[in-house]
Amino acid sequence: MDKNFINYHRPAIGTEEIREVIACLKSGWLTTATRTKQFEADFAKFADAKFAVAVNSCTAALHLALEAVGIREGDLVIVPTMTFAATAEVVRYFNAIPVLVDVNEDDFCIDLDQAEDIIKRIKSREKVVGVPKKHNGVKAIIPVHYGGQPYDVNKCRKLCRKHGLFLIDDAAHVCPAYYKDEKGRWQYAGKGADIACYSFYANKTITTGEGGMATTDNQAWADRMRIMSLHGISKDAWKRFTKSGTWYYEIVAPGFKYNMTDIAASLGIHQLKKANKFMAERKKLAEAYGKALKGTLGIILPKEKPGTKHSWHLYVIRIDSAVTGIHRNKAYDKMKAAGIGCSVHYTPLHLHPYYRKKFGFKKGDFPVAEKLADQCLSMPLYPGLPRKSFQRIISTLKGIVK
């Protein structure tokens, strides 16, 4: 790899994680066991949840969450179009229907006013793009804390209570992030959901390489997700090869293979201890971006909304080509050619071939998401980004849009 290339992301792995992984390897027990259970307990406490279920991805967590609350074929689930594939594809696992919604221009998060309008139109049997004539009604909503900016949790909870919806958080970007509840108290970002689902993928705020977690205060849902995460085998299946276990087990449901390994949990245990430290470092870097790019014509900067604490998983600028004279795609190419890794989050779901063909979506259906997708560029942001690299990123970007 080119030593002069500035990576878009680089995980912050310390000696503690390395030692724990080595200890795990030497223990002879690599898959789900005591380290995974410790990580679950630590995470539940950290996220202020009664229960936590460790799995091998946030996608798995979302799938298990929908299964636990009883999503079935023909159900409708509200999903923002500005998100990664997993948020909607887990709905399709049940042959249920993702009902796509536009986002707010100021934070990229779900437009809850439009979501309620669509729910009302569905109840009135009006035509809604992507919704078939035959369906079971809206059963759940999966909002996304985009980039680490909490969506309006209080407003979303009111919406769910009003229409009888399950609230499943796609919290892939918020470990941690915070919001003020209706009483003005700071709450962990996933606290407002029935079930919150987190990602520990390699580029996330904390990482286990691949991995995820589902948290909830509902024991029945937690028990169901735990059982379904390992083939539907009766509880404590992971203990059957230990001294205290037995060979005998029962399959109580057709489950999945979603369990987290102890190797992954070895990373997670120590990454979690550093989560607030990482958050502080990310915030400092985000503030440095804001200061360095403030006043640059044609660049629109992200902001932390009042009553929230942003995780800064992503630092997403917008390039207004009408002002800069250069399109985001060209800017991305020039940054890459200059040895700087950037990314784009995301192409809206309704513009992807599968959703266009399957549900009849077309360009123009969600104009705000399309506008943002045409302008957004995710900048390198991670703990340990060298100051010289940061200065090179700023000077290169300014030169490109000058």
Active site residues: 204
Start-end of H helices in 164-197? none
Q: How many whole angstroms separate alpha carbon 233 and alpha carbon 246?
A: 13
- Rounded to whole angstroms, the maximal C-alpha distance in the chain is 69
> Which amino acid is residue 142, in one-letter code?
I
Q: Which residues contact 150 (CB under 8 A, 6 or more apart)?
A: 109, 174, 177, 178, 179, 189, 305, 308, 309, 310
Exposure string for 142-179, b = 16+ CB within 10 A, e = fewer: bbbbbbbbbbbbbebbebbeebebbbbbbbbbbbbbbb
Going through 59-117 in order, the beta strands assigned E by DSSP cover: 76-80, 97-101
Distances (CA, A) of 205 to 30, 89, 267, 310, 360: 24, 23, 13, 12, 35
Can you read off the two tokens belonging to residue 277? 């430290």
Burial of 344 (0-12, 13-18, 19+ CB in 10 A): middle
Q: Enumerate residues 6+ apart whose C-beta is below 8 A from 228.
A: 64, 67, 68, 253, 255, 256, 258
Q: Tokens in use for 4?
A: 């002069």
- Cβ proximity of 312 and 148 under 8 Å: yes
Reading the block at residue 49, the tokens are 């949840």
The answer for residues whose C-beta is within 8 angstroms of residue 89's C-beta and 6 or more apart is: 59
Two structure tokens written together for 27? 């223990």
